[in-house]
Amino acid sequence: MTVPMATSFLQSESFIYVLYIIAFSLFIQGLRGLAGPTTAVRGNRIAAVGMAIAVIATLLKPDEGNWGLIALGIALGTAVGVPAARQVKMTAMPQMVALFNGVGGGAVFLIAWAEFRRTGGYSGIATYITIFSLFAAIVGSVSFWGSNIAFGKLQEIIPGRPITLGAGQQVVNGLLLVLALAGAIDIASGNHSEAIFIGVLVCAALLGNAVVLPIGGADMPVVISLLNAFTGLSAAATGVALNNPAMIVAGMIVGASGTILTNLMAVAMNRSIPAIVAGGFGGGGAVEGASGAGEHAGTVRSTTAADAAIQLAYANRVVVVPGYGMAVAQAQHAVRELTKELEDRGVEVSYAIHPVAGRMPGHMNVLLAEADVPYDQLKEMDDANPEFQRTDVSLVIGANDVTNPAAKNTPSSPIYGMPILEVNDSHSVIVIKRSMNPGFAGIENELYYDPKTTMLFGDAKSAVSEITAELAQI
């Protein structure tokens, strides 16, 4: 097999390269399908076919070997991946994405490590290959550990609140980064010591932990997007190091996607990416919030499920504003039942979704789609806001900071300037909430003191079901 003369056409460099070109074309074509819900399923399958072609092309390589180990690895990966993907609940999707992202990063740094060992510490290969491989090792390791921490937080194995070293945090992070880079520079300039390579991996691993631990739960949409971009870029770097065009293209597309999403999330929170990565927002915000709390001498009016049902039944137009509370309570099906009941009574229902509602970009949309909510009822923030003025009742379910008018009216508020859903423009507002506890940003929501607003305290799922039950009796 290693004799060049014996290489068949199927195993020739050119044929394999052409297969890679077909593969990455299918990735791009597949992602184009994601522009709309009707073409998206097909798009995803097209990308999957591209992936199968890329794998087959690689297995055709004449110097391929160790077939038993390859079969073992693929069999194990399938045995873990298939049931996980089949059984995961839609509410657990953010942690699933974090986990898949982590294993990708893990594969990247392990591959870089194997490459280091195989070449005797990058001896006798071009310097640029060494640099790209080291980049992949560091970023892959950061992404692996960072994603695992994000998974732990979302799965609530680790507390979701920021865990920080205090003022020393930035110094420690900086030090770890400098150490990892110093080790990498040492290796790139000719040191073949594996101990140093492992040291680089360890520093990057600690950095991944140290960066994500201080970030609070509600900032997770940004973190997941950012780690997604990281894994993509490290995959592209691996592609350059291994001279593989399919890996380069696929990695860069993922890098671009992650970067776009990260930016979008940061804009929707009105915060810079460095500020989010620096973390600890929950703590600082709570102090400011506590001082602001006393300013609201207004009263909070609570309501009952029966009253809420009457209010909704006689409305012409109702907008549902879901938030993380709906996901936690797994209330999406109950919400759908309520809105179905309302629609049967001739009420016009739509859903207004803030970009950062939930724990990952588009989280609420997935949950509502699971509950069979029609796609065209899901409104993005910019489309939803002008509609609130002609809305009779806004039903806020487990959303808090994204509806706080302070973001528009109170320059001293920590969330001032953040784009919000302007539910206070509607004729009346019903807020379903477990208690008066402030949301993630730790600040009071002025909306709750608005005379138009009534509060229905309770778990989102049972509260919504109660309203539906009351509605049936009207």
Partner 1 sequence: MILASVLTTNLAILVLAGFIGFVVISKVPNTLHTPLMSGTNAIHGIVLLGGLLLIGLSGNDAFNKVILVIAIVFGTINIIGGFLVTDRMLEMFKSKPKPAKEREDEHEAGGKER
What distances in angstroms separate CA 340 from CA 337, 349, 352, 374, one per listed residue? 5, 9, 16, 11
**107 binding partner 1? (CB under 8 A):** yes
* Distance in angstroms (rounded) separating the CA atoms of residues 289 and 453: 21
Q: Which residue number, 181 or 366, has a Cβ lying nearer to partner 1?
A: 366
* Distance in angstroms (rounded) separating the CA atoms of residues 206 and 173: 9
**323 binding partner 1? (CB under 8 A):** no
**73 binding partner 1? (CB under 8 A):** yes
* Distance in angstroms (rounded) separating the CA atoms of residues 374 and 365: 10
In the block, tokens 């507002």 appear at 429
What residue ranges in 158-316 does DSSP mark as E strands?
none
Q: Which residue number, 116 or 448, has a Cβ lying nearer to partner 1?
A: 116
* Distance in angstroms (rounded) separating the CA atoms of residues 288 and 374: 40
Ranges within 344-363 binding partner 1 (CB under 8 A): 353, 355, 360-363
User: Shortest gap between Cβ of 350 and partner 1 (angstroms)?
Assistant: 13
**22 binding partner 1? (CB under 8 A):** no
Among residues 63, 376, 382, 401, the one annotated as catalytic is 401
In the block, tokens 């055709």 appear at 60
**146 binding partner 1? (CB under 8 A):** no
* Distance in angstroms (rounded) separating the CA atoms of residues 319 and 253: 36
Per-residue string for binding with partner 1, 380-399, x by CB under 8 A? x-------------------
Q: Are 100 and 50 in contact (CB under 8 A)?
A: no
Mapped onto helix, strand or coil, the DSSP state of residue 252 is helix
* Strand partners for 339: none
Is residue 401 annotated as part of the catalytic site, yes or no? yes
User: Which residue stretch of 41-49, 275-283, 416-424, 460-468 sits at the interface with partner 1 (rule: CB under 8 A)?
Assistant: 41-49
Q: Are 90 and 370 in contact (CB under 8 A)?
A: yes
Give the residue, chosen from 51, 165, 188, 328, that forms a contact with partner 1 under the rule CB under 8 A. Answer: 51
Give the residue, chosen from 66, 123, 291, 437, that forms a contact with partner 1 under the rule CB under 8 A. Answer: 66
First to last CA, the chain: 79
User: Shortest gap between Cβ of 265 and partner 1 (angstroms)?
Assistant: 9
What radius of gyration do the chain's Cα atoms show? 26
User: Shortest gap between Cβ of 395 and partner 1 (angstroms)?
Assistant: 20
**13 binding partner 1? (CB under 8 A):** no
User: Which residue stretch of 103-111, 171-179, 306-314, 436-444 sits at the interface with partner 1 (rule: CB under 8 A)?
Assistant: 103-111
* Distance in angstroms (rounded) separating the CA atoms of residues 329 and 309: 20
* Distance in angstroms (rounded) separating the CA atoms of residues 119 and 159: 42
DSSP single-letter state for residue 302: B
**273 binding partner 1? (CB under 8 A):** no
Q: Which residue number, 219 or 450, has a Cβ lying nearer to partner 1?
A: 219
* Distance in angstroms (rounded) separating the CA atoms of residues 463 and 304: 9
Give the residue, chosen from 74, 171, 293, 474, that forms a contact with partner 1 under the rule CB under 8 A. Answer: 74
**224 binding partner 1? (CB under 8 A):** yes
**421 binding partner 1? (CB under 8 A):** no
User: Which residue stretch of 5-13, 92-100, 395-403, 466-474 sits at the interface with partner 1 (rule: CB under 8 A)?
Assistant: 92-100
Q: Are 326 and 343 in contact (CB under 8 A)?
A: no
What phi, psi does 431 have (nearest 5°)? -110, 120
Q: Which residue number, 48 or 287, has a Cβ lying nearer to partner 1?
A: 48
CB under 8 Å to 200, separation ≥6 — which residues? 134, 137, 138, 180, 183, 184, 187
**118 binding partner 1? (CB under 8 A):** yes
Give the residue, chosen from 150, 154, 206, 246, that forms a contact with partner 1 under the rule CB under 8 A. Answer: 246
Give the residue, chosen from 10, 18, 76, 171, that forms a contact with partner 1 under the rule CB under 8 A. Answer: 76
Give the residue, chosen from 18, 59, 171, 275, that forms a contact with partner 1 under the rule CB under 8 A. Answer: 59
**282 binding partner 1? (CB under 8 A):** no
User: Which residue stretch of 52-60, 289-297, 390-398, 423-431 sits at the interface with partner 1 (rule: CB under 8 A)?
Assistant: 52-60
* Distance in angstroms (rounded) separating the CA atoms of residues 449 and 302: 11
**239 binding partner 1? (CB under 8 A):** yes
**228 binding partner 1? (CB under 8 A):** yes
User: Shortest gap between Cβ of 186 and partner 1 (angstroms)?
Assistant: 22
**84 binding partner 1? (CB under 8 A):** yes
Question: Which sequence positions are flagged as catalytic?
Answer: 401
